[in-house]
């Protein structure tokens, strides 16, 4: 397989600047690898070869001018091939959210996070698979077919950003933009053995993200390592007047080479529960020991309302989804089914084109918001959400970071939870609290289980504390090799 696709993002950037190869060659090698592998993996829903080659050509011209002039002032992502989760709008490119109800939809604008990377000269290879409207933990809910885990084709890649994680792990792109509403960056990153960041809520603009749960949705990214992920994060983050929830705080200077001496890491008791696989617990605890050997201090802490995060999330998120998905009626977007009578069109379109998980969450959310039940369910859930947020605030008065598993298990078999939605929801038990509290989290590989599947750990930081996440993760990855391992070809 092509040598160029074996390069990390930073290696590819260095090679482009040195003139060792062109952006067109780098992009074509990625398309060649996609052609060879993606029929089996099904990571991509749509490829954009003409757009990508035009972007690569523009990058090559810019690189040539810079070399002739001796200039080193070039954007970090110039000429680098990336993928975009199919819930983020890209002007003129099919955007389906993994749903038949948006089949054929061509956005008239581009999401801010995507546009900022395009402005840096990034090359978009295409849109990657997702659970329908980002609702799921395995990418099995996509209307266009499941994505397979590159480490074991019979296992799920995680969800809802399974296409992004599989594409990065299988070297079908150098990085991918994805979204995290309840763990949808961190859990698939852990299942596929890559590094994934969920930023603080409001750190990255949500403009152009097709909403699932508006108070929970975050745009994040995946790459092979923290140092590869850093330029992607810095490229897309920052205030955006087009998003009313966007934060005006400036981005910090992030020094990856800082040491961990004195860094206080909390290990929450509530995240090592009955049902967690022994190999996952052992891998995470060994990773904490590695961080301690690098100078950090580890101490047990408590996040007492952790066990309430799952029921709280599955009241709030479906309620917000119920409101957000009301716009898909067959009139404004996508296909239209039914006869001429308006109500029949509405019922036929939504009834036949939404998948079962989306319908389930719409019904749950509509019930929770209905008269007579709003205060008992949605109102109460928001109060408990505040308690969860206060747990994190209290913990971060004692520690700088929190370390815990990403999921109770490694990647499970395709179809394992097909008849049990509650079992599927439990896969997110360790990732949901960060979204409810609005704090950032980073997932990265810390080992392999007895079946050769990646084990993931996550670090969480106080709001706007991404610099700590990058520093600690990079230090761990400099001392270990798990992030360098690739799935069997």
Q: Is it the case that residue 259 has pLDDT exceeding 50?
A: yes
Active site residue 73: no
Tens digit of each residue's pLDDT (9 = 90 or more) over 323-363: 999 999 888 888 899 877 888 898 999 999 999 999 999 99
Tell me what pLDDT residue 332 has.
85
Tell me what pLDDT residue 2 has.
54
Tens digit of each residue's pLDDT (9 = 90 or more) over 45-89: 999 999 999 999 999 999 999 999 888 889 999 999 999 999 999
Confidence of residue 407 (pLDDT cuts 50, 70, 90): very high
Q: Is it the case that residue 432 has pLDDT exceeding 70?
A: yes
Which position among 22, 142, 160, 161 bears the catalytic label? 160
Average pLDDT, the chain: 96
More confident residue, 251 or 387: 387
Confidence of residue 423 (pLDDT cuts 50, 70, 90): confident
Tell me what pLDDT residue 339 has.
78
Active site residue 184: yes
CA–CA separation, 428 vs 35, rounded Å?
Answer: 32
Tens digit of each residue's pLDDT (9 = 90 or more) over 78-121: 999 999 999 999 999 999 999 999 999 999 999 999 999 999 99
Which position among 85, 137, 205, 246 bears the catalytic label? 85
Tell me what pLDDT residue 198 has.
98
CA–CA separation, 246 vs 206, rounded Å?
Answer: 8
Mean pLDDT of 427-436: 96
CA–CA separation, 354 vs 485, rounded Å?
Answer: 38
Which position among 184, 205, 225, 322 bears the catalytic label? 184
The reply to whether CATH 3.40.50.150 applies to domain 4-259 is no
Tell me what pLDDT residue 1 has.
42
Active site residue 198: no
209-223, 417-431, 447-461: the lowest-pLDDT one: 417-431
For residue 26, give the 3-state DSSP assignment.
helix
What are the residue boundaries of the structural domains of the chain, listed by start? 4-259
Tell me what pLDDT residue 81 has.
98
Residue 152 C-alpha from the chain's centroid: 20
Mean pLDDT of 262-282: 95
| Region label for 294, one of left (φ > 0), alpha (ψ between -120 and 50) or beta (otherwise) | alpha
Cβ contacts of residue 351 below 8 Å, gap of 6+? none
Tens digit of each residue's pLDDT (9 = 90 or more) over 120-160: 999 999 999 999 999 999 999 999 999 999 999 999 999 99
Q: Is it the case that residue 185 has pLDDT exceeding 90?
A: yes
Complete DSSP assignment for 162-175: HHHHHHHHTTSSSE
CA–CA separation, 303 vs 320, rounded Å?
Answer: 25
Does an H or E element contain 220, and which? strand 218-223
Q: Give the ranges where 370-426 is alpha helix by DSSP (H).
A: 380-395, 421-426
């Amino acid at each position: 397989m092509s040598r160029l696709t074996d390069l990390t993002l930073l290696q590819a950037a260095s090679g482009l600047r040195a003139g060792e190869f062109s952006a067109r060659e780098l992009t074509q090698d990625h398309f060649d690898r996609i052609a060879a592998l993606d029929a089996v993996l099904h990571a991509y829903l749509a490829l954009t070869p003409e757009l990508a080659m035009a972007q690569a050509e523009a990058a090559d011209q810019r690189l040539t001018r810079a070399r002739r002039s001796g200039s080193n002032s070039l954007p970090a992502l110039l000429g680098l091939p990336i993928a975009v989760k199919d819930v983020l709008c890209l002007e003129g490119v099919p955007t389906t959210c993994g749903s038949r109800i948006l089949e054929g939809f061509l956005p008239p604008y581009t999401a801010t996070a995507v546009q900022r990377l395009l402005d840096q000269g990034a090359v978009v290879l295409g849109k990657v698979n997702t659970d329908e409207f980002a609702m799921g933990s395995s990418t099995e809910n996509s209307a266009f077919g499941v994505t397979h885990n590159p480490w074991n084709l019979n296992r799920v890649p995680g969800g809802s950003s399974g296409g992004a994680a599989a594409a990065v792990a299988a070297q079908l792109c150098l990085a991918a933009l994805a979204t995290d509403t309840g763990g949808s960056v961190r859990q698939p990153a852990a299942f596929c053995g890559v590094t994934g960041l969920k930023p603080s809520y409001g750190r990255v603009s949500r403009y152009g993200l097709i909403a699932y749960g508006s108070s929970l949705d975050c745009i994040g990214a995946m790459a092979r390592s923290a140092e590869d992920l850093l330029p992607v994060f810095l490229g897309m983050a920052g205030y955006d007047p087009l998003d009313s929830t966007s934060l005006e705080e400036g981005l910090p200077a992030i020094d990856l080479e800082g040491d961990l001496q004195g860094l206080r890491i909390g290990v929450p008791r509530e995240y090592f529960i009955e049902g967690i696989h022994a190999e996952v617990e052992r891998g995470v605890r060994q990773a904490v020991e590695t961080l301690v050997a690098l100078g950090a201090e580890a101490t047990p802490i408590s996040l007492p309302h952790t066990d309430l995060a799952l029921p709280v999330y599955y009241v709030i998120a479906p309620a917000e989804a119920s409101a957000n998905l009301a716009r898909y009626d067959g009139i404004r977007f996508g296909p239209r089914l039914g006869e001429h009578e308006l109500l029949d069109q509405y019922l036929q379109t939504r009834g036949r084109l939404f998948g079962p998980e989306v319908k389930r969450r719409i019904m749950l959310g509509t019930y929770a918001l209905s008269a007579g039940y709003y205060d008992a369910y949605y109102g109460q859930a928001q109060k408990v959400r505040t308690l969860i947020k206060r747990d994190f605030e209290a913990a971060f008065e004692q520690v700088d970071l929190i370390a815990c598993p990403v999921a109770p298990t490694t990647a499970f078999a395709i179809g394992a939870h097909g008849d049990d939605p509650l079992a599927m929801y439990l896969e997110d038990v360790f990732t949901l609290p960060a979204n409810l509290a609005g704090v950032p989290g980073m997932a990265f590989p810390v080992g392999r289980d007895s079946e050769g599947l990646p084990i993931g750990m996550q670090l969480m930081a106080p709001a706007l504390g991404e610099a700590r996440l990058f520093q600690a993760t990079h230090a761990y990855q400099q001392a270990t090799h798990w992030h360098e391992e690739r799935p069997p070809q």
